[in-house]
Amino acid sequence: MRADTEFVTPRDPLKVICTGDWAAVDPDGGDPRYVRAYLPRRTSFVRSTSSKRSEGQILAANVDHSIIAVSLAAELDLGRIERFLALGWESGGQPVVVLTKADLVPDPATLAHLVEDVETAAPGVRVLPVSATSGEGVDVLAAVVSGGTSVLLGQSGAGKSTLANALAGADVMEVQAIRDVDGKGRHTTTTRNLLVLPAGGVLIDTPGLRGVGLWDAETGVGQVFSEIEELGEGCRFHDCAHVSEPGCAVLAALDDGSLPERRLDSYRKLMRENQRIVAKTDARVRAELRREWRLRGPRARRR
């Protein structure tokens, strides 16, 4: 346990108290009650704020499941799902993909195809079609989220708040009034909200994230593309870049068609993006340290 004030008014944006953090409250304290300590986080869900400033923003803490909501009303964007998955894995929890608005895909064969497509982009991840309208899959999802803390992620308009209401069994979250045909939607949910579910578990609804930047998510990216990383272990050179090296198992899998080219391209893209962010962050941290030393210099000299 730690009760340092630095945790409450931190310089590091990742130490800001956040939805999902646990606090020890003094039961004998007066009114308002005093927080005695914040419990250390088990996991945290972080994205980078904007492309200009290289800062992490913590979205949720102590997440056991990241529920990635993807609307079946819009065309599937596997690249975007992979990006959410990378963040989900990196947060330390188990990701789950829910394909929302399944009532809009009445043909079971078409739905099965869509699920399969998403499964190729999500090894080790459960892909669950759900509909808040028909109730399909909601009980399964309720069971998944009944243990621990879950965070709902996905674009604005994906149906997160509607799903949160279905799981809560009450209209607690505000849902977008206008039907969202292009999947872009407006941001109705502006704050993060924590719900205690009747079937057990805690659910955090997030505002629609139009862009999710990776934040130091190399492990997460690796987990999204676990089949590529596994193939890479069979390459002749252990530092193989899978570009033109002889004996490359990844290129061999591309050639024989067992690895889709889209997957390899997406893997490279997310890895590159992540490396850029890490490099930028390192530069920012170095600059901050230099500034601190400059400020500290004269004072130290006076002493």
Ligand X SMILES: Nc1nc2c(ncn2[C@@H]2O[C@H](COP(=O)(O)OP(=O)(O)O)[C@@H](O)[C@H]2O)c(=O)[nH]1
Q: Would you tell me which residues interact with Mg ion (CB under 5 A)? A: 160-161, 188-189
Chain-centroid distance of CA 168 in Å reads 22
Contacting positions for ligand X (CB under 6 A): 69, 100-101, 103-104, 131-133, 154, 156-162, 175-176, 179-180, 185, 188-189, 208
Nearest to 47 by CA among 210, 174, 163: 210
Please answer whether residues 149 and 202 qualify as being in contact, where contact means their C-beta atoms are separated by less than 8 angstroms.
Answer: yes
Name which of 194 and 241 has its Cβ closer to Zn ion. 241
State the binding partner of 95 from Mg ion, ligand X, Zn ion, none, CB within 5 to 8 A by kind.
none
In angstroms, give the least distance from the CB of 293 to Mg ion.
44
Q: Rounded CA gap, 190 and 176, in Å? A: 12
Please identify, using beta-carbon distances, which residue of 158 and 235 lies nearer to ligand X: 158
**Under 8 Å between Cβ of 152 and 160:** yes
Residue 248 found at the interface with Zn ion (CB under 5 A): yes
Question: What Cα–Cα distance (Å) separates residue 61 from each residue in 52, 108, 124, 153, 278?
Answer: 25, 37, 22, 14, 21
Q: How far is the CB of 201 from ligand X (least distance, A)?
A: 18
Interface pick for Zn ion out of 242, 263, 266, 267 (rule CB under 5 A): 242
Stretch touching Zn ion by CB under 5 A, among 22-30, 95-103, 156-164, 236-244: 236-244
Q: How many residues bind Zn ion (CB under 5 A)?
A: 5
Q: Is 264 a residue that touches Zn ion (CB under 5 A)?
A: no
Smallest gap from Cβ 151 to ligand X, in A, equals 13
Tokens describing residue 248: 């490359």
150 binds, among Mg ion, ligand X, Zn ion, none (CB under 5 to 8 A by kind): none
259 counts as binding Zn ion under rule CB under 5 A: no
Nearest CA among 160, 125, 157 for reference residue 144: 125
